[in-house]
Amino acid sequence: MKFGFRIPSFKKRISARLSWKRYLRHSLGIKMPRGFGIFSNPKKALYNKIYRKTTFGIEDIGKTRRKNIKHSPSIQDNKPNQNNMANNDEIGKIIRSTNRALKVTSQNFSDLRNEINEIYELRDELSKKLQITKLKLYSITFLHILSYPLVFGFFYKKISDIRIDLKKKIKELENQLKDAYIKLTFADASQFEKSWLNCTDTFSELIKSKKVWDLTFSQGINTVKERTNATTAFKRTIIHNSKKEIEFIKSDLPHIFIPNANGPDLFIFPTFLILYKNRQDLGILDLTEINATLEFSSFIEEEGVPKDTEVISYTWKKANKDGSMDKRFKGNYQIPIVRYGKLTFQSDSGLEEGYMFSNFTAFDGFSSAYNYHLLLLTKLQGKAQPHIETKTSIIINTPQKNSDYKVTDEREAICPYCKGELKKIPGSKTKCPHCNKYMLVRTNPKGIKKVVTKEEADKIEEEWAIESGNHDEFIDKKEKFKAEKESLKEQFGKMPSDNDVKWRILNKELMENAQSMDFGLYRNTRFNMGEILRKENRLKPALGTYLEVCYIDLNGPNNRGSLLSSSTELLKEFPPFTPKDGAFLAPGVIDRIKKIIKKLDANEDTTKKTFFEASEKIHKTLKLPLKPETCWATLWKELKDVQ
């Protein structure tokens, strides 16, 4: 018996291929099935088997065995069969969007991203207020019930009044939370609106297909080795027809929702797509920046043909190159080739999703409607990337604004103080190059956005207070501000700046929040202090303050109030920090930290040192459950892409 390398014989190879006996057997289909040599010539079959095990030839050098995907059906492409598969086809390809796609915002929709961040923080604050108010109601109710066995409940009626007030406040907060959302109003272009309605109508029929699959993995097939006409195998996961909305986004036109089996869901609006995982992780992509492919797919179906699917042909489990039955395999059977619709979304920003639909007729209707809509969208915008300002107006519905509230931009490139002309229209607080005074940008309750002076901004702020019914609270804050300003003037012997007064007020609020164990409000106060530092361009202390806010957020701060803080048993049931349930990282804070890191040109070690200096102080004083080391690992995952 030979061991090692087999010396090739080109003479025998040529003779075997020119053999008339071999040609006759193959032509008549009477060749012996594979594996039957043990019956016709056992001695030679056993010798050949051992010989192949103990020796190797030229064709075996560098050859790797390919693992089959047992659960993946095969798909027939319109491409010619390939005998030699590329390396990527050998390994396979995962079909899913990257985490980068959840952070990306198309240039035309940066305003929408900012509005989403603001409304998210507003809803988060309202949710925390609602939670603490409910806890107060529970404790007061318990005290109210306990007061009657202790007799004083028959005489002391103030507890009952507090309960009524808390119930009213809860109802008011629930209504405010319900009304806090972003409203998208698309321009009234008749053809554009009709085009999108055609898309949603045809998709509603398409999603009702008997089978809809999310394609999660693909791998090339060696057609010669596997004896099949299919060139690609897919792993498919069935998804079901469902309706879902993003709670803080509403639109006057319906959207298309596509669930995702291995990643964030897809919400398609008339001009953009939202890749949505949760309130913090979402990507906003311009439809014209997405490569959407809607194509016919000829599929070899081995799992049962859906009722709404058209069978276009048949093939064999083991087939020859010409598609005929390979008679060497025992029990070879026919498999139907069906017509499916295949939808894929891809973009340079990391979006990659694939879907397959069993109802090709419905798919063809949606394909025509969607392609027409994209062409119309490009035509209406005059270029490939549409501007959200021309097609969509974003309306922030805060709790006190009515549903008809719309913003009209009346800003001009003129200083409101000296009337000097500016190079561009201010977008926020800007210093005039002529008179060196700061101009502000404000929107009044009538929805008019203008560039104003400090005095005009104060008047608009008061108008908003009247509009929201908080005028008394506004007056109290104003008087408190004046009193603090006078106090600081006496203390330092000179007139303090507005930021100095705000800092004094925030410091007092910080102490009050810590004493009453309202750590959600404590966190908000620290954030406001960080905003003052950032606006004063004191970036290093601002960075430390923002990192401290993130550390508090990862510990899940709650507002427990003075009523609960006095009860040890209630604090055990409702702890001030719940990192498992309440931990989060606000996108607005993360964005500010990234910008500061870039400006300071800080590296990971510098940022880590700043984080630990800020967090170790409050870890002991506030008795936070998570150590700084644990939180830093989570935080840096969000910040590392800034490098």
pLDDT at position 76: 43
In this prediction, residue 390 carries a pLDDT of: 27
Helix, strand or coil, per DSSP, at residue 81 = coil
Other C-beta atoms lying within 10 Å of the C-beta of residue 197: 15
Tokens (6 digits) for 535: 């606006």
Gap between the Cα atoms of 231 and 79, Å rounded: 8
Distance, in Å, from the CA atom of 528 to the CA atom of 520, rounded to the nearest integer, reads 13
| pLDDT at 568 (0 to 100) | 64
pLDDT at 485: 87
Mean pLDDT to the nearest integer, 512-516: 84
Render pLDDT for 58-98 as a digit per residue (tens, 0 to 9). 777 655 444 433 344 444 443 333 333 334 455 667 787 87
pLDDT at 638 over 90: no
Asked if residue 195 has pLDDT above 60, the reply is: yes
pLDDT at 394: 39
**Segment 230-242 mean pLDDT:** 83
Stronger pLDDT, 186 or 461, i.e. the higher one: 461
- pLDDT recorded at residue 84: 33
Q: What's the rounded mean pLDDT across residues 163-188?
A: 82
**Under a CB-based contact definition with an 8 Å cutoff, are residues 376 and 386 in contact?**
no
**Is 155's pLDDT higher than 70?**
no
- Whole-number pLDDT of residue 150: 65
Contact 618, 635 (CB under 8 A): no
pLDDT at residue 189, as a whole number: 53
Q: How far apart are CA 280 and CA 266, in angstroms?
A: 15
Strand 430-431 and strand 438-443: the pairing is: antiparallel
Q: Assign 199 a pLDDT band (cuts: 50, 70, 90).
A: very high
pLDDT per residue as tens digits for the range 566-617? 556 666 767 888 888 778 788 788 888 999 998 998 888 899 999 999 998 8
520, 549 contact by CB (below 8 A): no
Give dist(CA 604, CA 639) in Å, integer: 9
- In this prediction the pTM is 0.50
Closest CA to 366 of 256, 244, 286: 256
Residues whose CB falls within 8 Å of the CB of residue 354, separated by 6 or more in sequence, listed in order: 95, 214, 215, 218, 342, 343, 344, 345
Query: If you average pLDDT over residues 52-56, what whole number do you get?
Result: 84
Most confident segment among 38-47, 322-331, 372-381: 38-47
Q: Residue 61: which residues within 8 A CB-CB, separation 6 or more?
A: none
Taking a C-beta distance cutoff of 8 angstroms, is the pair 575, 642 a contact?
A: no
- Name the average pLDDT for the chain: 79
> Could you tell me how far CA 87 lies from the centroid of its own chain?
32
Distance in Å from the first CA to the final CA of the chain: 63
What ranges do the domains of the chain cover?
Answer: 1-63, 120-183, 401-469, 516-643
Mean pLDDT of 32-57: 82
DSSP letters spanning 283-296: EEEEGGGSEEEEEE
Whether the pLDDT of residue 388 is over 50: the answer is no
Selection from 618, 415, 642 nearest residue 519 by Cα: 618
- Calpha distance 234→84 (Å, rounded): 19
- Token pair of 615, please? 């967090």
User: How far from the centroid of its chain's Cα atoms is residue 38's Cα?
Assistant: 60
Indicate whether 449 pLDDT > 90: no
User: Which residue in this structure is represented by tokens 């309960």?
Assistant: 163
Reported for 521-529, long-range contacts at CB under 8 A and 24+ positions apart, including other chains, are: 521/128, 521/559, 522/552, 522/557, 522/622, 523/549, 523/552, 523/553, 523/557, 524/125, 526/552, 527/589, 528/502, 529/503
Report whether pLDDT(490) > 90: no
**Closest to 298 measured CA to CA, from 335, 356, 334, 337:** 337
State mean pLDDT over 489-502.
Answer: 86
Q: Tokens representing 184?
A: 């998208």
Give pLDDT, residue 387: 33
* Mean pLDDT of all residues in 613-631: 89
Looking only at the bridges linking them, the beta strands covering 232-238 and 256-258 are unpaired
Residue type, 429: K
Please tell me the predicted confidence (pLDDT) of residue 569.
64
Strand 282-286 relative to strand 272-276, pairing: antiparallel
Which amino acid is it at 274?
I
Distance CA 440, CA 436 (A): 13
User: Among 524, 510, 615, which residue's Cα sits nearest to residue 128?
Assistant: 524
Predicted confidence at residue 81, as pLDDT, reads: 34
For residues 630 and 102, give the distance between their C-alpha atoms in angstroms, rounded to a whole number. Answer: 24
Task: Please report where in the chains the tokens 């032509």 appear, as a residue.
Answer: 27
Structure tokens at 187: 């321009």
Please give the pLDDT value at position 69.
38
Distance, CA of 79 to CA of 298 (rounded, Å) = 11
User: Is 87 strand, coil or helix?
Assistant: helix
In the chain, helix, strand, coil percent, each to 5? 50, 20, 35
pLDDT in tens, 310-334: 888 888 888 887 778 888 877 788 8
Stretch 381-385: mean pLDDT: 43
Residues 143, 159: Cα–Cα separation, whole Å:
8
Judge whether 74 and 232 are in contact, CB under 8 Å. Answer: yes
User: Which range has the top average pLDDT, 50-59, 109-118, 154-163, 334-343?
Assistant: 334-343
Mean pLDDT of 502-506: 90
Tell me which residue of 616, 598, 506, 599 sits closest to 551, measured CA to CA: 616
Residue 212 has pLDDT above 90, yes or no: yes
d(CA 161, CA 85) in angstroms, rounded, equals 78
Q: What is the pLDDT of residues 525-545, one digit of tens each?
A: 999 999 999 988 999 999 999
- Tokens at 438, concatenated: 């700061």
Average pLDDT rounded to a whole number, residues 217-224: 74
